[in-house]
Structures are given as C-alpha cells and as structure tokens.
Amino acid sequence: MYNLAILMAFSFLFVACNNDDDNPTPQPQSIVEIASADAQFSTLVSALQRVNLVSVLEGAGPFTVFAPTNAAFDALGVDLSTISDEDLTEILLYHVLGAEVTSSQIQDGQTYVTTAATTGPDDTQLSMLIEKANATVTLNGAIPVATPDVDATNGVIHVVNQVVMPLDIVGHAVANSAFSSLVGALGLADGDLVNVLKGDGPFTVFAPVNDAFTAIQSTVDGLTSEQLAKVLTYHVVAGANVRSTALTDGQIVSTVNAPTTFTVNLGSTVTITDANGDESTVVLTDVQATNGVIHVLNKVIIPNNL
C-alpha cells in the first residue's frame, strides 16, 4: 500500500554565425549522474562506489532516493571507514524506495513505506515513517526533507541534511507521536522493557495507539508498575518476526506474559480477542524494524492475570 515511464528528451545544439548563444540544452540525468555532478553529494557518491551500489541506482528504476548531503554525513559523527561494507550498504539502501514517490504524491499525515534495506529478521525489508504537514515531509519523526523533487530519468531525489538510520522497535515507537503513551508506559513498567525491546529479538509487538490508552486511562492509572508490565508484555511475542501473512484465523498467540494468550481473528478486518473476551482491531500491519515487527492496535488488550 506504500509502495512512471522514463521521458527521454533529445536536444540539439544549433550554431548560427550571428548568434553567440552556444550553451547546449541540459540533458536529462539519472540519479547517479545528478549526485555525481553535485559537490554536496561527494560523500554519498563515494559511499555508493565503495559498496558497489552505483550500478543499482543507474538502473531503470524507478527509484526514490532520500539523498544525504556531505553535511548530513558529517553530522552523523561516524567515520564511515569504520563501518563495515554490509552495514554501510544497509544504511544507504534505507534511503532508497523501489518506486518513484514525489512530494505531491505523499498524503498529509502519516504513512509507512518499505525501503530497499533488508536487515529485518529473515531478511525482511525495513519500514520508514513518512509524515507530511504544511507541505513539509519528515522522515522517521525527526528528519525533514530539505529539497524535494529533484527529477531524474530513473526516479526522483529528495535532499536530506541528516542521515536516516534504520530503527529498532523502540526507535519506531519513539519516532511516531501516535505511540507516545506506549513509550511512556514502557518507561514506567517493571522489567526495563525499553532496553528489552531494543535487544536482538526478534519480537512481534501489537502496539496500541495513544487513543487506546486514553480510553482506559483510569484503569492504567490504577495499575502498579508490576501490573503495567504484565499488560505491556501481553502485547509482545518473543522469538519471532510474525508478519501479517503468517497470521491465521483462530490462531492462539503465546505472549511474553506467559501463560496468557490471545486469539487472532481474520475477516474483513483483523481483530484480536484477549483473555477477557474483549476485541481490539489491528489497524495497521507490518511496520518492520531491525529487531522485529509492529502491528498497530486501536485498543489495549488486557491479560487475566493482573
């Protein structure tokens, strides 16, 4: 859901004896040609050359590239020579989408897109959050697009002044303002859950949005930190990156809050029936992080072992 022809223009130089205008009409350029011709992208081009990605971005595409400037790499504060080729490849591919997406095609509000980076568990492609407000496009909650819509023959470039780094589950939760209540609860609960969910995993997290917590605020306020941990871990499956395609109707899901389980129901919508018989709707699936996947819920599910 997150995921045009190449227009070839030929220009001819006419030289007239009585005309001193001998500047040729600029030729259309590919993404790599544009970056190579612009000094502000010299670090990016060198990095692409080092890990043999130049030929990829010279392909037919179309691609969308969020292109970090030299200043973006400087601000990262990391010597690229100390990063392995594998890690550098994934950082660069995280800036690439396998379709042309102009700023006018991005809807107001939030959406997730699938990047070309494949460092999710089981080599799944990583997600990126894109938000648009007042014509400004922001990546992963913090990085604005400085210059949008640099047109290329094989796609489009959006210039960014920060390097966009792949996010783990906690990083995605922090990046999305709709999860601020969840992030706050993770910090208050027993068990150091923030650091747990920053671990290797993989984890599958059924993440309630802010409105879900607001709807039961009086209940949440009455929970001890131990009880809050039980509620939150009831939303987590450890040891598996369970994407939506792996969910089945009637599936019984074991959670970190063992032995409590919940049931997945497939129909016109995907719902979850918790241990108390209450239902929550999955409103978004497959937000892929480096250490697991997030599915978004409209209600908090409650275990029966509080």
- Identify the architecture of domain 31-160 in CATH: Roll (2.30)
* Mean confidence (pLDDT) of the chain: 91
Helices within 110-216 (DSSP H only): 169-175, 180-188, 193-196, 210-215
Mean pLDDT of 176-200: 96
Task: Report strand pairing: 261-266 vs 155-160.
Answer: unpaired
Which pLDDT belongs to residue 10? Answer: 27
- Closest by CA to 165, choosing from 142, 199, 198, 133, is 142
* Contacts within 8 Å (CB) and 24+ apart, 84-89: 85/50, 85/51, 88/47, 88/50, 88/51, 89/51, 89/53
Q: What is the pLDDT of residues 117-176, one digit of tens each?
A: 999 999 999 999 999 999 999 999 999 999 999 999 999 999 999 999 999 999 999 999
Q: What is the pLDDT of residues 64-102, one digit of tens each?
A: 999 999 999 999 998 999 999 999 999 999 999 999 999
- Furthest-apart CA pair in the chain: how many Å? 91
- What percent of the chain has pLDDT above 70? 92
Q: Where are the domains of the chain?
A: 31-160, 177-297
**Rounded Cα–Cα distance for residues 31 and 154 (Å):** 7
Counting every residue, how long is the chain? Answer: 306
Helices within 11-77 (DSSP H only): 31-36, 42-50, 54-57, 70-76
Task: Report strand pairing: 203-208 vs 292-297.
Answer: parallel
Mean pLDDT of 191-216: 96
- pLDDT higher for 12 or 252? 252
Helix (H) or strand (E) holding 262: strand 261-266
Find the distance separating the first CA and the last CA of the chain, reported in whole Å: 38
- Closest by CA to 187, choosing from 235, 228, 142, 216, is 228
- Closest by CA to 270, choosing from 289, 234, 302, 296, is 296
Which pLDDT belongs to residue 26? Answer: 67
Rounded (5°) CA angle 136-137-139: 145
Which pLDDT belongs to residue 27? Answer: 74
7 pLDDT more than 50? no
Q: What are the φ and ψ backbone dihedral angles of 266, each rounded to 5 degrees?
A: -105, 135
Which pLDDT belongs to residue 191? Answer: 95
Q: What are the φ and ψ backbone dihedral angles of 206, each rounded to 5 degrees?
A: -95, 100
113 pLDDT more than 80? yes
Mean pLDDT of 254-271: 95
Which pLDDT belongs to residue 174? Answer: 98
Do domains 31-160 and 177-297 share one topology? The answer is yes
225-233 and 180-188 helices, crossing angle to 10°: 130
222 pLDDT more than 80? yes
Which pLDDT belongs to residue 23? Answer: 60
Count helices and strands (H / E) in the chain: 11, 14
Q: Which CATH superfamily is domain 177-297 in?
A: FAS1 domain (2.30.180.10)
**Rounded Cα–Cα distance for residues 220 and 214 (Å):** 9
Helix, strand, or coil here: 265?
strand
Rounded (5°) CA angle 128-285-234: 110
What's the predicted TM-score (pTM) here? Answer: 0.89
Which pLDDT belongs to residue 28? Answer: 84
Q: What is the pLDDT of residues 11-50, one digit of tens each?
A: 322 333 344 455 666 678 999 999 999 999 999 999 999 9
